[in-house]
Amino acid sequence: MPSSPHTLTVEAVVLRHSDWGEADRLLTIYTRQAGKLRAVAKGARKLRSRKAGHLEPFTYVRLLLAHGRDFWIVTQAETVDAYLALREDLLRTGYAAYLMELVDRFTYDEGATAGLFQLLVESLARVEALPDPFIAVRYFELRLLDVAGFRPELFQCVRCGNPIQAEDQYFDALQGGVICPACSGHSPSARPVLREALRFIRHLQRSHFNDAARADPPQAVRSEMEQLMNYYLTFLLERKLNSPHFLDEIRRSTRQNPPDAA
């Protein structure tokens, strides 16, 4: 797929798509070469379309794009990795949708963020392959915050600068990090955070993934970690994310109808 002055060859992950016109699809993709783009796949909704199977959400594809009047036009599409196992497990599908939503919300059209594409495809592979994808998702959140310029301060109080001690703390999204108990009264927007949850999040923030993946927090700590990250991400985006609610519904359904239930 060679590029020319009027075409662009990209590696991309499909973040989402919507119907466009009578038979087309409008894609939002995140590319290695050019960041987030919007592109139209002509005829992709037709039953015999050869492109449709390559352009489903969270598919890693190689595309040849041509300049259009309003959007890029997909002229060729080739699947690199369809992450098929993600689509066979509802919880993994939910996690993948969450990664797509975060990338979509934290990026701007035609603005590449160094390292984000590689982080995304590696995280999709981890969510697909690991027996428990929880740590892979939390690791993705923290690395996304790093590359987006919103790395939270987790090792010293953002008010007084003193090192954080091994005790329950507070986290203030407005100030971008942890508040020690002594300073918490001066930060009305700070929320409590359990010592163990903070310990695991700090471990993920400072570790390579192979070391981070060894973490196995208990369920109560997992819930606290997830709530804390959702609190911070929601504050930064100034709007609620849709995927966490979907994930909660999946978990609730799984608890009520376990796979091995009679």
Q: CATH number of the domain that 116 lies in?
A: 1.20.1440.120
For 90-124, write each residue's pLDDT tens digit: 999 999 999 999 999 999 887 778 899 999 999 99
Same domain, 219 and 243: yes
Among 224, 173, 159, 170, smallest CA distance to 192 is for 170
pLDDT band at 5 (very low <50, low <70, confident <90, very high): low
Task: Reply yes or no on whether the pLDDT at 48 is more than 80.
Answer: no
Task: Reply yes or no on whether the pLDDT at 261 is more than 50.
Answer: no
Same domain, 62 and 178: no
Please give the structure tokens belonging to residue 111: 């603005």
Task: Reply yes or no on whether the pLDDT at 205 is more than 60.
Answer: yes
Measured distance CA(12)–CA(31) in Å, rounded: 4
For 134-152, write each residue's pLDDT tens digit: 999 999 999 999 999 999 9
Please give the structure tokens belonging to residue 103: 């990338």
Per-residue b/e over 13-34, b at no fewer than 16 CB within 10 Å? bbbebeebeeebbbbbbbbbeb
pLDDT band at 43 (very low <50, low <70, confident <90, very high): confident
pLDDT band at 51 (very low <50, low <70, confident <90, very high): low
To the nearest whole number, what is the mean pLDDT of the chain?
Answer: 91
Domain end, chosen from 32, 59, 82, is at 82
Same domain, 16 and 67: yes
Kindly state whether residue 2 falls inside one of the protein's structural domains.
Answer: no
Residue with tokens 């919300």: 105
Kindly state whether residue 262 falls inside one of the protein's structural domains.
Answer: no
Kindly state whether residue 229 falls inside one of the protein's structural domains.
Answer: yes
Number of domains in the chain: 2
Spell out the SS3 assignment of 13-80.
Answer: EEEEEEEECCCEEEEEEEECCCEEEEEEECCCCCCCCCCHHHCCCCCEEEEEEECCCCCEEEEEEEEE
pLDDT band at 262 (very low <50, low <70, confident <90, very high): very low
pLDDT given at position 4: 53
pTM above 0.85, yes or no: yes
Domain end, chosen from 65, 82, 99, is at 82
Domain with 44 in it: 7-82
pLDDT given at position 240: 93
Measured distance CA(55)–CA(78) in Å, rounded: 9
